[in-house]
Chains A and B, each alone.
Chain A
Amino acid sequence: MSRPLYSWGCYPHAPQTAHVCSWRSEVEALRDGVVATHGSTLPYGNGRSYGDSCLAASDQVLHIPAMDRFIRVDWQQGTVQAEAGVTLAEILAIAIPQGWFLSVTPGTQFATLGGAIANDVHGKNHHLRGTFGKHVHSFGLLRHGQELLTCSPTENTELYAASIGGLGLTGVIIWAKIQLMPIRSCQIDSTVVRFDNLAGFFALSAELDHQHEYSVAWIDCLAKGAKTGRGVFIIGDHACYGSLEVDERQKLHVPLTPPVSLINNLSLRAFNEAYWRMHPATRARKWSSYEPFFYPLDRILHWNRIYGRKGFQQYQCVIPDAVAEVAMRELLAAIADSGQGSFLAVLKRCGNIISPGLLSFPLPGTSLALDFPHTADLAALFLRLDAIVHEAGGRLYPAKDAHMSGSDFRQAYPAWEQLEALRDPSLMSRFWKRVTA
């Protein structure tokens, strides 16, 4: 009955068969059954990873979202303990009216709690609060042949570190307890201003990041020459005055997958030009609800379908501070040259807060993320970009990746061998098989 599952980018096109976990007590038997028949499996949340890190090597996944119960909430301390399939949206729905918000949120609220830990996601406040994993008190990890283990900074510490950003390979995360942060309202006071080039971004970032909770920039990836890296800088803080209400605006919907991508050079160039011009050249303040600020794309359900049946790939890298500006210039020049890219290009300064996770992606530097419709020409562009990232000592984000070479991965994440040693032998992803082979 159930439809096959894919990753968010629908590339690689590898349909996954879902084995649905409904109750905590049933996961072990279900996993053992799948492993006995198919060799290995992988926990799969809401499928918001872009590439192949959420795809099982056996194409048989343990489907976690039906395990979506809260276990314990404490509105004095601001902690939530819940099953791994609870989405961030569901946590916000009960936390906001009590005056709490996620300490760290990625760009979608439809990720699951388990997925947020396994990918050690980060958000617009990385420079102040680090990654999601930094706010995880503890979690329950089910490993082959072992009792359910509680992992925390003081218990099973090796597995705690390996599972944060561990891509679901160290065991099945059954539940987790996280720390929320207090808010006085659910509205965001934001300021937007456009900048003319990459130097403008770095100047604004240096001036504003440390003064504000959230900071991010959209950039026009097709602008060339003196305009390279022009974009819109956005900063925000939780407003002191407002309401504590859950945003429940009507969602739009992409009903079907068009045969070809709706994002092409022409539509993109027009959009980027218009979007950049739409924003003010001088700083303008706005007061808006949290949804449009954090999750603009969540309003359009299945937006990934606009890239057509071939799907798309996201390229997200982080470049260390010392060489960030030079490398970003090279990356953007290469992308503009190729004429490929998308309107979803995001530039963000990451801070120096160390994550407890072994394979956490961010490092002190600048992160660039953008989507590309999947075409035959993409491989050549990615090779060029990979070379620049490699040269600059940067790295790519496994949660977004479907292409990086094994040698680049192993060099950029030297702790991979520790993770491999702690990997639950019954779990294997297409990503892990690809980059460790």
Chain B
Amino acid sequence: MKKVLIIGATSSIATACARLWAEQGNEFFLVARNNEKLEQTAADLRARGAKAVTLHNMEATDFAAHPAMLASCLGSLQQIDIALIAHGTLPDQKACEQDVGMALQEFSNNGTSVIALMTLLANQFERQHCGTLAVISSVAGDRGRPSNYLYGTAKAAVSTFCEGLRARLFKVGVHVIDIRPGFVDTPMTQGLPLPAALVAKPEQVAHRIVKGIEHKVDVLYTPGFWALIMTIIKSIPGVIFKRINI
């Protein structure tokens, strides 16, 4: 049985992962900012086989609340086998270009808050000498694109942070996985003009994440074909990249 901490537990991808872990009879500590959604998610996981589910209300950007959350999590789980950081928002790029306050808030939602949580969790994992820290970044972090470079920047920061932290924690037997989903059919992407053929279901993405965690993959593109797409996109020279809109 594993003990699983999920931050941003009511997001579609997190829920889909949690369902797979629930079937295995695992124990959960779920963190999110909406109590009603948390309770509905917990009831679902219990019905699907979760051994125990504890809930914690927290705003991810409320940095002062992070240590109390971790203390409460350890109080109920004792140790963390898997920590999944899954919270995030999809900023309105155009609005962020005109409003510095909004841009920094969005950067905090997707970047700083994740880094803060990883910093805190890293020390716990270092004490434990075991466990996996899984973080959902994005393919958007691989390249800065005019349509969403603020989001991409935050995700790139998270990915780089993951890489450094992975090298640090590897030495003590802790694994850090950087999960980079492509387009996923979730409430966050609703209404966006995405190419339907490239949009994956959260369940598909979750299967790959759960497997990736088991196999200690370092960087996981999901669905897998995004590894190929991003290899191509990353290879486009800057002089061409600045002239195209993708």
Contact = CB atoms under 8 A, between A and B. Distances in A.
Tell me whether A and B are bound partners. yes
Interface in B158-204: 183, 185, 187, 189-194, 196, 199
Contacts of A94: 47-49
A66 B183 CA distance: 17
B195 to A, nearest CB: 8
Which residue of A1, A71, A72, A82 has the most chain B CB atoms within 10 A of its CB atom? A1
Nearest to B187: A22
B196 A1 contact: yes
B203 to A, nearest CB: 10
A188 to B, nearest CB: 24
B54 to A, nearest CB: 18
B36 A1 contact: no
A241 interface: no
Contacts of A23: 36-37, 40
B194 A1 contact: yes
B187 A20 contact: yes
A169 B114 CA distance: 45
Nearest to A74: B47
A27 B183 CA distance: 24
B191 A71 contact: no
B43 A1 contact: no
A37 interface: no
B110 interface: no
A76 to B, nearest CB: 14
Contact of A70 (B43, B187, B194, B199): B43
Interface in B1-46: 12, 36-37, 40-41, 43-44, 46
Given A1-B199, A3-B196, A25-B36, A69 B44 contact: yes
Interface of B: 12, 36-37, 40-41, 43-44, 46-49, 183, 185, 187, 189-194, 196, 199
A2 interface: yes
Contacts of B41: 69
Contacts of A25: 36
A250 to B, nearest CB: 14
Contacts, number: 46
10 contacts: A1-B191, A1-B196, A3-B196, A23-B37, A69-B40, A70-B43, A71-B40, A71-B43, A82-B47, A94-B49
A69 B48 CA distance: 9
B187 A73 contact: no
Contacts of A70: 43-44, 46-48
* Most chain B CB within a 10 A radius of its CB, from A3, A25, A70, A73: A70
B197 to A, nearest CB: 9
Interface in A67-88: 69-73, 80, 82
Given A69-B43, A70-B48, 16 more contacts: A1-B193, A1-B196, A1-B199, A2-B190, A2-B196, A20-B187, A22-B187, A24-B40, A25-B36, A66-B187, A69-B40, A70-B46, A71-B44, A71-B47, A72-B47, A73-B47
A89 B4 CA distance: 26
B37 to A, nearest CB: 6
Contact of B189 (A1, A66, A72): A1
B47 A1 contact: no
A88 to B, nearest CB: 15
Between A2, A20, A82, the greatest number of chain B beta carbons within 10 A of the residue's beta carbon is seen for: A2
Contact of A1 (B12, B40, B49, B192): B192
Interface string A45-82: 00000000000000000000010011111000000101
Contacts of A72: 43, 47
A23 B36 CA distance: 10
Contacts of A71: 40, 43-44, 47
B223 to A, nearest CB: 16
B211 to A, nearest CB: 15
A71 B37 CA distance: 12
Contacts of B48: 70, 94
A72 B191 CA distance: 32
Interface in A21-41: 22-25
B196 to A, nearest CB: 5
Contacts of B199: 1
B51 to A, nearest CB: 15
Q: Which of B36, B187, B193: most chain A CB closer than 10 A? A: B187
Which 6 residue pairs spanning A and B have beta carbons closest together?
A70-B47, A69-B44, A1-B194, A73-B47, A3-B196, A70-B44
A114 to B, nearest CB: 16
Nearest to B193: A1
Interface string A128-163: 000000000000000000000000000000000000
A22 B189 CA distance: 13
Nearest to A86: B44
A71 B190 CA distance: 25
A25 B37 CA distance: 9
Contacts of A66: 12, 187
In the complex, which of the residues B41, B43, B183, B185 has the most CB atoms of chain A within 10 Å of its own CB atom? B43
A405 B199 CA distance: 40
A41 to B, nearest CB: 16
B55 to A, nearest CB: 15
A25 B38 CA distance: 13
Nearest to B191: A1
Nearest to A75: B47
A73 B49 CA distance: 10
Contacts of A24: 40
Contacts of B190: 1-2, 20
Nearest to B42: A69
Interface in A162-181: none
Interface in A1-19: 1-3
A82 B189 CA distance: 25
Contacts of B192: 1
Contacts of A69: 40-41, 43-44
